[in-house]
Structure 1
Amino acid sequence: MNVVKTYSVDEAQKLLENYCAYQERCHKDVKEKLVKMRMIPEAIDTIVVHLIEQNYLNEERFAKAFARGKFRIKKWGKNRIVRELKFRQISKYSIDSALLEIDLDDYHKTLDELTVKRIAQVKETNLYKKKKKVADYLLYRGWESNLVYEKLNELLN
């Protein structure tokens, strides 16, 4: 017999307070977690409102932490960060605010380092094919095309 665990609103609320305290979460993650816990829509709304009021859940804070982390650790460009935040249903205001967390000098320095490193890794003798491979890699990671091609023209000629 498969017994399904059920939760009272208070139990679920405590679990989600811990879930949100552990690391920043977006509203979408929290709602999905509550749905998996088989909570009814009214309970989900009640719990989400409680988490926001108690400052466990804050969209803008999540967006800023997400942008900083993905840029510093995964070296993602702004396009990829924006795409991922939109996927998580983050508001345009919070996305714009999050992008301000990325220092422009660091941004350009990181693009430079990534490009130099990737150029060294690509074992292609044809200059145009090499440029394309490096550009594809950088574009996939969310770097803006104008910056990518500017950097490649500066480094590969």
Structure 2
Amino acid sequence: MEKKSYTFEEIKQKLVNYCVYQDRCHSEIEQKMRDFLLIPEAKDDILLYLMKENYLNEERFTRSYIRGKFYMKHWGRNKIKINLKQKGITEKLISRCMDEIDDEDYAKAINKIYNDYFSKQSGIKTYQKKSKTISHLLSKGYEYDVILDVLENE
């Protein structure tokens, strides 16, 4: 099937709309640009335009991503960090933006997930319930030492 060809301005507008719909990072924009047959100069022009007009803002994307993954999906810091790195976000920027997660909210979330998951386990010994619950929290990206603090405060 032949790809529909667009003018430079049409492609630029499509990418603006893509950014307006939801915050994006550079790697998502570059992936989207691969769909269009653009020469490198055109890609650079579009990237510069998106940044200059503040459609593309890596810090805003990172902050919004962290808030969304923690407050909506209840991911821990480790999982958020790994996923942001896969999107090409630097360690420095990730660290700077982690203050989007309130420490008190983080503690509440991990306690709630722990208690909910622990209470759903049935027909197994307590130490097995604890072990499964720890594994569940690790898979959601919570730090092992933070999980141990929860256990100690049981």
Q: What TM-score, normalized by structure 2, do the two folds share?
A: 0.94
Instruction: Structure 2: give runs of 5+ residues left out of the alignment.
Output: none
The residue aligned with 2:151 is 152
1:97–1:124 Cα change, 3 Å: farther
The residue aligned with 2:140 is 141
Q: Structure 2: which amino acid aligns with 1:102?
A: I
Q: Structure 2: which amino acid aligns with 1:90?
A: I
For each residue in 1:61-105, what CA deviation from the matched residue of structure 2 results, as whole angstroms up to 9, or x when unmatched?
000000001000000010011111101001223211221111101
CA distance in 1, matches of 2:148, 2:40: 48
CA distance in 2, matches of 1:112, 1:46: 48
The residue aligned with 1:115 is 114
The residue aligned with 1:70 is 69
SS at match of 1:100: helix
Identical amino acids, percent of aligned pairs: 36
The residue aligned with 1:97 is 96
Q: What TM-score, normalized by structure 1, do the two folds share?
A: 0.93
For each residue in 1:24-47, what CA deviation from the matched residue of structure 2 results, as whole angstroms up to 9, or x when unmatched?
001000000010122222211111
CA distance in 2, matches of 1:153, 1:39: 57
The residue aligned with 1:6 is 5
Q: Which one is further off, 6-15 or 101-110?
A: 6-15
**CA positional deviation for 1:131:** 1.2
CA distance in 2, matches of 1:36, 1:4: 9
**CA positional deviation for 1:111:** 0.7
Q: Which one is further off, 105-114 or 36-45?
A: 36-45
CA distance in 1, matches of 2:6, 2:40: 14
Q: Which one is further off, 9-18 or 119-128?
A: 119-128
Q: Which one is further off, 121-130 or 45-54?
A: 121-130
**CA positional deviation for 1:124:** 4.3
Q: Structure 1: which amino acid aligns with 2:55?
A: Y
CA distance in 2, matches of 1:41, 1:121: 54
Q: RMSD of aligned C-alpha atoms? A: 1.2
CA distance in 1, matches of 2:123, 2:24: 42
CA distance in 2, matches of 1:93, 1:124: 45
CA distance in 2, matches of 1:68, 1:19: 20
CA distance in 2, matches of 1:151, 1:124: 23
Aligned residues: 154
Q: Structure 2: which amino acid aligns with 1:45?
A: D
Q: Which one is further off, 22-31 or 34-43?
A: 34-43
Instruction: Structure 1: give runs of 5+ residues left out of the alignment.
Output: none
